Amino acid sequence: MDRSTDQQIIVSGLGGQGVLLVSRILAESAILKGFPVLTSEDHGMAQRGGTVVSHIKAGRFSSPLIRPEQACGMIVLAPENLPLHQHFVGPGGWMAVNGTASGENYPDRNLFAVDADALCRKIGQPRAMNLVMLGFVLGKSDWNEFAPSFFCNMAEVCAAVRERFPEKVSASAIPALECGYEAATGG
Amino acid sequence: MENKQLMMGNEAIARGLVESGCAMATSYPGTPASEILSSVAALEREFRTGMHVQWAVNEKVALEIAYAGCQAGLRTAVSMKQVGLNVALDPLMSAAYMGTKGGFIVISADDPGPHSSQTEQDSRLMAMAARIPVLDPDSPRQAREMIEPAFRISEAFGIPVMLRPTTRVCHARQDVASGVIVDLKRRPAFEKDPARWAATPKFRLKLHGDLERKLSEIAAHAPTAPVKLNAGPKRRARAVVASGVAAAHLKEIASDPDLTDRFDLYQVLQPFPLHAEFIEEMGRYDAVLVIEETEPVIEMQLADRNRVQGKLFGPVPRVGELLPEGIESIVKGFCKMPSNLRTAPAGGRRPTLCAGCPHRASFFAIRKAAPRGIYTGDIGCYTLGLNLGAVDTVLCMGAAISQAAGFYHAYKHTEKPPDIVAAIGDSTFFHAGVPALIDAKVQNAGFVLMILDNRTTAMTGGQPTPAASFGATGNPLSPVAIEPLVNGCGVEFCRTVDPYQVNETIEALKQALEFCRTRGPAVVVARRSCLLERGPEAKAERIGIPVIVSDACDGCGYCIKHFECPALVMSGNRVSIDPAVCTQCGVCLNVCPKNCICPA
Ligand code: SF4
Ligand code: SF4
């Protein structure tokens, strides 16, 4: 499996949806694998329900921001953000969207949609949509639906969550990740 | 082996401080600087070096406390956001003249964009005005690495040193190697020297002369000299000069295959005073492009105007954040290469108060009690009251009160002066509201001040206010309560309400309005904890009033437009409650004009 180390990923959502947690988990996973990592986050005013976006760059980078068309993929927690942030993803890249979305407008990218809101309610964790989405992306990648595949796999992300986050976080995060993962691989 | 940890820029700065033996750290919270002091506090809780870590009542006080520590020979630091530096500028200008004994770092975090600020001002320009050196880090890693050299400059030359990170440094995360926590074991030793520490104007002239001499020496200080980042072309034709995060973007852009070795790339670590030798060196190029945020500080210091391009003359935009795609296109233009700038689409959702936020209830009450009033607002989460039409002005910290007084004086001779309601948060009231309230009382200014007391500094992440009984490290403190303070300012009307009790709050505001028409300012304290607070007081206050929207809702959207609770959502042609978001505060029961929102 080719897991290219230099990868740039966008996580897009609204303040309160947990964009920051997803980007922190990815950054910790990168460090655990020995990759240099840089992320950029939105804090302050925007966190109150406004549009927020995180940039994650694993590998040899110096700038914390991703230029248009240079991201290999994007996790979209709020489908309304898709037209706002799709320009970051280069041709052939993947876009994983929470909710219903169609790839029609983006013929040169691979769009995967999943109703993560419904999935997290089903497992009794209505606020864990963000991690269900991350699990979903890992599932797609581990089953070779991304090229190149994501810089880390499910096992590595779970290890990072267990090792780097308090027990309280990991105890609820792992089932949410697994829920998304199964949706990607089983459905 | 190096121990690499994921660190936010602000954590890396904190790490740098404790690893350099900083003995006192002070701050007032403000995005993007807030996490610097909270990270110092976390390290102090963990390692107990006996460092003094505190949130001060405002930036001026914070700077003065930390400065005294350096006068006593200790290494100290104060951190704030860029507009906080405006508040602290008075002591800083003077401290520059008197200089330092122990090392003293002023960290002022800028916010090009602006993402979470009133202005895009450049603190480096303030350093220039105060005549102190400033360092401009490009990443969390470099921010940490600059702390020790900053203390060294401060101690070697006896001068305060500024560190100017920007949002993209403060709120970036990177793998950063951590070093050992250092306790320098210095004992405070203040040496009396009135000619210096309490200088009269005559001696100030001498100190000013000393200061200029220090600056010319710092302009030759080798450790902070600009660095060349690439091999560059054989002939010295073009140079690109960058500092801060612009340099981080450029490192990456300059390694794009089509741009490799098209120009010499320099990074300026110390934008002021710019190294004299470097200024001379730049004179040897045919063309120099300067890329920096947000004012042309480096560019101004490069003497030869004909060869220098940047913000003053040239292609670099003077406003807004410099994004890497914009820099790429500017650099390609500079190298006479074709470029197509891909711009991001504008738009996105505006921020709003949380579902169940007590401020929303307060603003609703203000609009009901004074429907045609002038509403002066202030800085905090509650600035978002402007979404609800309940905030007409936002100037700066504390201005809600002085502006309310100003509107009162402007209108006082008119036939029917408008009702004026000022809204200010608890932390902001302490910060700069108190002198304004004293002034309003003395001048008999008739307006109502609503103090939105949510027991924390919410917008910046929940730092304690002076009314909390604990400090930055969780240490017990002696709190100052708001009501006695209001009374102490001479205000005779002070009523405290729970904003969730909407009718009671409207009634209190109406009485306050009546009072202020003849008897000067009246205060209503709306007290209820921020929903993000987890303390015992917040827990005790929790209530659960489940609400539903009845079938009679015709989808007019009044509640969404005028109340904007994120839990009220339009589904189909009527409104419903999103149970995942609703906090069951019950405030919306008062909102629907047709009484369609009812208890479940
Ligand atoms: S709940 Fe009331 S205010 Fe809101 S849309 Fe329905 S009828 Fe209008
Ligand atoms: S009870 Fe009403 S106002 Fe309170 S959070 Fe729920 S929907 Fe919003």
Instruction: DSSP for B272-320, please give it.
Output: BSPPHHHHHHHTTSSEEEEE-SSS-HHHHH---TTTEESSSSSSS-SSS
Distance CA B220, CA B582 (A): 60
* B340: confidence class by pLDDT, cuts 50, 70, 90: confident
Considering only residues 402 to 441 of chain B, which have any Cβ-Cβ distance to chain A shorter than 8 Å? Answer: none
Q: How far is A181 from chain B (nearest CA, A)?
A: 23
CA of B357 to the centre of ligand 2 (A): 9
Q: Coil, strand or helix: which one is B387?
A: helix
pLDDT at B3: 76
Q: Cβ of A32 under 8 Å from any chain B Cβ?
A: no
List beta partners, residue B524.
Answer: B450, B495
Report how far residue A17's alpha carbon sits from residue A42's, in angstroms, rounded to the nearest whole number: 13
Instruction: Note whether B31 contacts A81, CB cutoff 8 Å.
Output: no
**Which A residues 135-174 touch B at CB under 8 Å?**
164
Question: Tokens 């169609």 appear where?
Answer: A102
DSSP B506-556: HHHHHHHHHHHHHHS-EEEEEE---TT--SHHHHHH-----EEE-TT----
In angstroms, the first-to-last Cα distance of chain B is 60
Cα of B266 vs its chain's centroid, Å:
29
B232 Rama sector, left if φ>0, alpha if ψ -120 to 50, beta otherwise? left
| Record: contact A43-B116, CB cut-off 8 A | yes
Q: Do B342 and A68 touch (CB under 8 A)?
A: yes
| b/e per residue B70-93 (b: at least 16 CB within 10 A) | bbbbbbbbbbbbbbbbbbbbebbe
pLDDT band at B173 (very low <50, low <70, confident <90, very high): very high
pLDDT for the residue B574? 93
Least confident range from B34-38, B117-121, B157-161, B505-509: namely B117-121
- How many angstroms separate the CA atoms of A133 and A138, rounded? 9
Q: What is the mean pLDDT of residues B264-291?
A: 96
CB burial class (10 A; 0-12, 13-18, 19+) of residue B434?
Answer: middle
Hey, is the C-beta of A61 within 8 angstroms of any chain B C-beta?
yes
Q: Which residues contact B334 (CB under 8 A, 6 or more apart)?
A: B238, B240, B263, B287, B289, B309, B315
B352/A49 touch (CB, cutoff 8 Å), yes or no: yes
Residues of chain A in contact with residue B341, where contact means CB-CB under 8 angstroms, are none
User: What pLDDT does residue A1 have?
Assistant: 36
Question: Cβ–Cβ of B115/A68 closer than 8 Å?
Answer: no
CA distance B305 to B283: 10
Burial code of A96-107, b = ≥16 C-beta within 10 A, e = fewer? bbbbebeeeebe
Pick among A10, A19, A38, A63 to test the B interface (most B CBs inside 10 A): A63
User: For B554, phi and psi rounded to 5 degrees?
Assistant: -100, 10
Mean pLDDT of B534-550: 88
* pLDDT at residue number A94: 95
For chain B, which domains are there? 4-218 (3.40.50.970), 224-334 (3.40.50.920), 358-540 (3.40.50.970), 543-600 (3.30.70.20)
Query: Which of A73-82, B378-387, B474-483 has the weakest average pLDDT?
Result: B378-387
**What integer pLDDT is reported at residue A131 of this predicted model?**
97
Show residues of chain B in contact with A116, CB under 8 Å: none
Task: Tell me the pLDDT band of B538, cut-offs 50, 70 and 90.
Answer: confident
Please write down the long-range contacts of B274-277, taking CB distance under 8 Å and 24 or more positions apart.
B274/B219, B274/B298, B274/B301, B274/B302, B275/B219, B275/B220, B275/B221, B275/B224, B275/B225, B275/B226, B276/B216, B276/B219, B276/B220, B277/B220, B277/B225
Mean pLDDT of B214-222: 98
Q: Determine, for residues B324 and A65 on separate chains, whether the beta-carbon distance falls below 8 Å.
A: yes
pLDDT (mean) for A147-153: 86
Please tell me the predicted confidence (pLDDT) of residue A52. 92
Residues in B closer than 8 angstroms to A121, CB to CB, are 580
Percentage of chain A exceeding pLDDT 70: 96
- The stretch A138-142 carries a mean pLDDT of 93
Q: Can you tell me which residue has the tokens 């002005």?
A: B393
User: What does each C-alpha distance from B378 to A44, B87, B381, B400 come to in angstroms?
Assistant: 16, 15, 9, 5
Which residues on adjacent β-strands are paired with residue A114? A98
Q: Give yes or no for residue B547 CB within 6 A of ligand 1.
A: no
Res A187 pLDDT > 60: no
Tell me, which fold does domain A7-113+144-165 have in CATH? Pyruvate-ferredoxin Oxidoreductase; domain 3 (3.40.920)
Among A45, A80, A115, most B C-beta atoms within 10 A, so best to mutate, is: A45
Determine which of B110, B142, B166, B171 to mutate to test the interface with A (most A C-beta atoms within 10 Å).
Answer: B171
Contact A31/B32, CB-based, under 8 Å? no
**What confidence score (pLDDT) does residue A80 get?**
92
Taking the centre of ligand 2 as the mean of its atom positions, its distance from the CA of residue B538, in whole angstroms, is 17
Give residue-wise pLDDT tens across range B18-69.
Answer: 999 999 999 999 999 999 999 999 999 999 989 999 999 999 999 999 999 9
Mean pLDDT value of segment A93-120: 92
| CB of B547 sitting under 6 A from ligand 2 | yes
Q: Give the residue among A55, A43, A57, A56 at the shortest CA–CA distance from A15.
A: A43
Instruction: Give the residue on A whose Cα is nearest the Cα of B457.
Output: A44
Alpha carbon of B291 to those of B132, B256, B324: distances in Å? 22, 18, 11
User: Which of A32-46, B327-341, B559-573 is predicted least confidently?
Assistant: A32-46
Measured CA to CA, the distance from residue B530 to residue B542 in angstroms comes to: 11
In angstroms, the CA B449 to CA B441 distance is 11
Per-residue pLDDT at B86 exceeds 80: yes
Q: Is the ipTM of this complex over 0.90?
A: yes
Asked whether B559 lines ligand 1 (CB < 6 A), one says yes
Gap between the Cα atoms of A112 and B546, Å rounded: 36
- In this structure, the strands spanning A71-76 and A89-98 are parallel
- What percent of chain B is modeled with pLDDT above 90? 85
Domain borders along chain A are 7-113+144-165
% pLDDT > 70, chain B = 100
Q: What is the pLDDT of residues A41-53, one digit of tens each?
A: 887 676 788 899 9
pLDDT at position B316 is 95
> From the CA of A13, how far away is ligand 2's center (Å)?
22
Q: Where are the alpha helices (DSSP H) in B48-109?
A: 59-71, 82-98
The answer, yes or no, to whether residue A145 has pLDDT greater than 90, is: no
Q: What is the mean pLDDT of residues A79-94?
A: 94
- A92 touches B: beta carbon within 8 Å: no
Assess B354–A contact: CB distance below 8 Å, yes or no: yes
Ligand 1, atom 6, residue with closest C-alpha: B553
CB B362 within 8 A of CB B499: yes
B311-316 average pLDDT score: 92
Give the residue-averaged pLDDT of B396-418.
97
User: What pLDDT, on a 0 to 100 scale, did the predictor assign at position A4?
Assistant: 58
Is pLDDT at B167 greater than 50 in this prediction? yes
* C-alpha Rg value of chain A to the nearest Å: 15
DSSP B163: E
B138 touches chain A (CB under 8 A): yes
Confidence band, pLDDT 50/70/90 cuts, at residue B2: low
Q: Which amino acid, one-letter code, is at B116?
A: S
- Provide the mean pLDDT of chain B: 94
From B75's Cα to the closest Cα of chain A, the distance in A is 30
Is residue B459 predicted with pLDDT exceeding 90?
no
R_g of chain B, CA atoms, integer Å = 27
Residue B305 is predicted with a pLDDT of 77
Residue B1 pLDDT > 60, yes or no? no
| B536 — pLDDT class (breaks 50, 70, 90) | confident
